[in-house]
Structure 1
């Protein structure tokens, strides 16, 4: 039996029985209903749906509900959403604990060209880049999902994006009672994808032609040319970004001191950066047809290594007490260590890094007006597991000492230059992805609501993403609860010793190629129960052109 979806929005569509032309089901999701996130340990904390100004607008007792209504007007199924996660699913008289009961995430098989996602009915969804099929327990195809077709003959739409989706089911091998559940699964299985902005610093250099070779980097114009910061944010928003990062990546008391600013000026400028992002959001939403957009502002904070000269995100050579020794230009990097021999020295380094991150965070949390403008926090480009632990401790200590609610969603993103995490092992080699994720997610300290990969070349993104997904998939306590953040670099390579970009290429062709490759990675992991929310954007050498290309690719895939 062939079914036609009248809308590409699977949460709001009619499902037509093509043999009769009659409506078999209506799918309806009233909304939006944005709620302050639950403090429950079983729920995800979504960056894309969190809004510091939304908490008083909506009744938190009213969840978003998707209903599947049959031809008799009765609810055959209901999905109760917690942000982007289906937390409760009712099918007939049966109530399921969300996607965990609907799918068997522990048995998901991720292969090079396809992914198999088992369901509780012993059927399996087989997904590839080209198709979505339903298999029975003998691996025979009993259903096929056809997107963007021009007619009932399932030919592709002449104009991409103008067609309808179809679902062809072999009703001789499927019970009619199972059909409502099968229609629920495509709705709950695809995680939301949201567009993050690109590299703000390199955009200021490349697009706005600003010289930011300065200790403050992208924060330099905040004080001297604030309109440029606003225009840069606006350029990303107009390109399709749902989330923008503040121009604070390299901000810390130490960098302001290097630049000749007082601590009072440092506080003023750091808080001003948040106000400029908010002003850009206000201006963008005031434009025609943009009032319905949910734009989020995320505080960008780089590692301690970003405050050093030369910067040490790629190598993690930190001076004492933050590391065993500072970078030595006279010694080859291969001969230098960034890990401690002494456990006591490592603990002292964690304490020093904890204070560094806590001191900087207080600049924002101590001012209620500034903190209220921020929808989330991103700790970016962290090169060492001890610094990951320090970030977690810093947030935990601030939360314990604060008299007000400073709780917001946050992520940690790490980098893999040449495909390797910067931290070295004393016995040789580099710390691997599972160890990095253990540093983020194991132990009693707060763990992030999202994990990310940034400042990594597209050539190395795939293997790191595969290892990250595999780790989370195998953790029943984490799968379906963490956001994934992907921010790879553009095509060019940064040389920290010469402070130049090498292999520079320009043009829309470069942007489209970059966006296509990132979209492939996103689509490969978005179907399933591992990542309920994916945030995709760019890092160095990705500007509004790249983000516009990515937004178009993701929208078409969706």
Structure 2
């Protein structure tokens, strides 16, 4: 499969920016879902799947070129803790992809939506090992597992997600190089699979574990199935410096989808600060100038943020 067949190249050839979607879990919370659960957004796969489909549809309407599925926290281990057997868990993982595909296909069936647009893609979210642990370690790294152990963890769910037919995988919020390398190596077991890999970062130079982001991106350079690299779930203020170091480290397209800029209070379990879609779009313009080609949002971003971003990106 070539880069063109994987679907990214037409967007990158025809658009200055490929517009990613925004937050799924925090958007579901904003619509009344209770995500106080180790399964996080995967809980909604069980309880309110139609709402997930609606959020995907709203992001497409806002201008997103990609829907990222509700499978970030979907693992066999996590579902087993909720009493679901292997078959039921696998079905929910595939359902996450199907919901995004249904939303995409319904959106694209409307002729008015095709004007000036390429058919949007579906990226199956592959969250890090630490997300399954639900102890915050996706923002620390320093796992007890080595690369082989991480490959063993990711292998069965990657197989289920790919079986549902996404356009690519979104391996996201990766805190450390060892897990990124494990994911990149694992792609070789699925020759038709393509992915992006994005790291969570703790400052303007380092991923969450403390390794230089530039070194991590350089280490992924030889993995042809990794189509784009970058960062997500990171404070937007760190993005310009991170991109500056990333540009010389890789020839792959760079992607960024940071948080809204609000700050999370883990003690009060609440967010502080203001959300401003126009300010987010203005910052995104700077990220594009710094080298990012795929831009969207992570925690606390919304369809309004993506609409503002898309309005600028398509002018």
Match of 2:272 among 460, 480, 503: 503
CA distance in 2, matches of 1:265, 1:433: 37
Match of 2:157 among 348, 360, 383: 360
The yes-or-no answer on 1:462 pairing with 2:240 is yes
CA distance in 1, matches of 2:66, 2:225: 21
Check whether the contact 2:187–2:225 (CA below 8 A) recurs between aligned residues: no
CA distance in 2, matches of 1:44, 1:280: 23
Match of 2:136 among 311, 314, 328: 311
> 3-state DSSP class of the match of 1:192?
coil
C-alpha distance 487-547 of structure 1, shift in aligned 2 (>3 A): same
Q: Name the residue aligned to 1:247.
A: 70
Check whether the contact 2:218–2:249 (CA below 8 A) recurs between aligned residues: no
Greater radius of gyration (CA): 1
Q: Name the residue aligned to 2:213.
A: 433
Q: Shift of the alpha carbon at 1:48?
A: 3.1
Q: Name the residue aligned to 1:134.
A: none
Map Cα deviations across residues 526-556 of structure 1 (whole Å, 9 max, x no partner): 6xxxxxxx11100111010111111112123
Q: Shift of the alpha carbon at 1:317?
A: 4.1
- Structure 1 unmatched ranges of 5 or more: 1-36, 51-82, 86-189, 323-348, 400-405, 424-429, 473-477, 527-533
In proportion to residue count, which structure has more strand?
1
Q: Name the residue aligned to 2:24.
A: 200
- Number of equivalent positions: 312
| 1:442-457 mapped onto 2 (5 Å cutoff) | 442=222, 446=224, 448-457=226-235
Q: Name the residue aligned to 1:382.
A: 174
Q: Name the residue aligned to 2:207.
A: 421
Check whether the contact 2:126–2:172 (CA below 8 A) recurs between aligned residues: yes
Q: Name the residue aligned to 1:258.
A: 81
Match of 1:523 among 279, 286, 289: 289
CA distance in 1, matches of 2:66, 2:174: 20
CA RMSD of aligned residues (A): 2.2
CA distance in 1, matches of 2:77, 2:90: 12
CA distance in 1, matches of 2:271, 2:179: 29
Q: Relative contact order (C-alpha < 8 Å, sep 6+): which is higher? A: 2
| 1:149-548 mapped onto 2 (5 Å cutoff) | 192-206=16-30, 208-291=31-114, 293=117, 294-318=119-143, 320=144, 322=145, 349-365=146-162, 367=163, 370-371=164-165, 374-396=166-188, 398-399=189-190, 406-419=191-204, 420-423=206-209, 430-442=210-222, 446=224, 448-472=226-250, 478=251, 482-495=252-265, 497-498=266-267, 500-506=269-275, 510-525=276-291, 534-548=293-307
Q: Name the residue aligned to 2:309.
A: 550
CA distance in 2, matches of 1:358, 1:493: 34
C-alpha distance 84-316 of structure 1, shift in aligned 2 (>3 A): closer
C-alpha distance 358-499 of structure 1, shift in aligned 2 (>3 A): farther
CA distance in 1, matches of 2:81, 2:264: 23
C-alpha distance 551-502 of structure 1, shift in aligned 2 (>3 A): same
- Structure 2 unmatched ranges of 5 or more: none
In proportion to residue count, which structure has more helix?
2
CA distance in 2, matches of 1:288, 1:441: 39
C-alpha distance 521-364 of structure 1, shift in aligned 2 (>3 A): closer
Q: Shift of the alpha carbon at 1:47?
A: 4.0
CA distance in 2, matches of 1:45, 1:412: 18
